[in-house]
């Protein structure tokens, strides 16, 4: 999956990494920044997505499509598709540009809207990467888990970097008997939940 990544995908990954790094240096306002996951997290979610059971693969929070590119590598390998939700019109434009330039439009669908509502149109979810505004995590979790297949995986970013603001979400997931949960120290900390 990580060997022989097509040049167009690698080029776009590198470009978005540069933009993200520049934004951080420039002090670009929080909501305008791309706020992408690091490569290590990209590889982690791609490996998990490739091993998920049959069903719908979803992402909440596309930004410019960087994390989606990693998930798309898993989808290429497993002949699946992925739907990514993004609420910001400007980010949707950037993400669609990413998928057009990388030739992934037939694998990735970018849906504009609030994932808390959009999720209700999906069932049989086998994989979901959650990387949205932290105050939305709990609502997204409550929308995703009932729609997941047995053995389905939910991965939530920032479980360590934002442990305090995500406390109610993390507590809810940890005590939820529908899922087995572990927090893994990769990138900003990944909460991994498997539907039992
Ligand atoms: C941290 S960024 C995502 C970064 C992206 N996953 C990556 O690594 O390339 C969070 C994104 O989630 C979007 N977002 C926040 N809340 C959302 C919601 N409820 N539904 C859909 N998108 C949301 C924001 O507009 C922002 O672009």
The DSSP string of the chain is --TT--HHHHHHHHHHHHHHHHHHHHT--GGGS--PPPHHHHHHHHHHHHTS-SSEEEEE--TTSHHHHHHHHHHHHHT--EEEEE--HHHHHHHHHHHHHTT-TTTEEEEES-HHHHGGG--SEEEEEE-S-GGGHHHHHHHHGGGEEEEEEEEETTTTTTTTTTHHHHHHHHH-TTEEEEEE-STT-EEEEEE-
Q: Whose CA is nearest to atom 22 of ligand 1?
A: 86
Compute, in angstroms, the gap from residue 76 CA to the centroid of ligand 1. 23
On whether the CB atoms of residues 130 and 141 are closer than 8 A, the answer is yes
Indicate if ligand 1 lies below 6 Å from the C-beta of 131: yes
* pTM (two decimals): 0.97
Residues 99-144 have pLDDT tens digits of: 999 999 999 999 999 999 999 999 999 999 999 999 999 999 999 9
* Domains of the chain by start residue, with CATH: 7-195 (3.40.50.150)
CA–chain centroid gap for 123, Å, is 17
* Nearest atom (ligand 1) to Cα of 59: 6
* 63, 84, 141: residue to mutate for ligand 1 pocket, most atoms within 8 A of CB: 63
pLDDT, mean over the chain: 97
- 31 pLDDT higher than 90: no
- Which residue, judged by its Cα, is nearest atom 15 of ligand 1? 132
């Amino acid at each position: 999956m990580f060997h022989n990544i097509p040049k167009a995908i690698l080029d776009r990954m590198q470009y978005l990494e540069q933009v993200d790094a520049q934004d951080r240096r420039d002090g670009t306002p929080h909501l305008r920044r791309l706020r992408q996951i690091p490569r290590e997290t990209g590889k982690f979610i791609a490996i998990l997505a490739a091993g998920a059971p049959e069903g719908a693969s979803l992402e909440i929070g596309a930004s410019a499509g960087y994390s989606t590119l990693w998930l798309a590598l898993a989808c290429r390998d497993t002949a699946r598709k992925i739907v990514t939700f993004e609420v910001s019109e400007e980010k949707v434009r950037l993400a669609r540009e990413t998928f057009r330039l990388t030739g992934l439009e037939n694998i990735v669908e970018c849906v504009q809207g609030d994932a808390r509502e959009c999720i209700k149109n999906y069932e049989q979810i086998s994989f979901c990467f959650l990387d949205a505004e932290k105050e939305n995590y709990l609502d997204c979790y409550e929308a995703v888990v009932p729609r997941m297949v047995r053995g389905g995986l939910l991965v939530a970013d920032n479980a360590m970097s934002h442990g305090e603001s995500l406390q109610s979400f993390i507590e809810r997931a940890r005590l939820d008997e529908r899922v087995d949960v572990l927090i893994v120290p990769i990138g900003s900390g990944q909460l991994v939940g498997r539907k039992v």
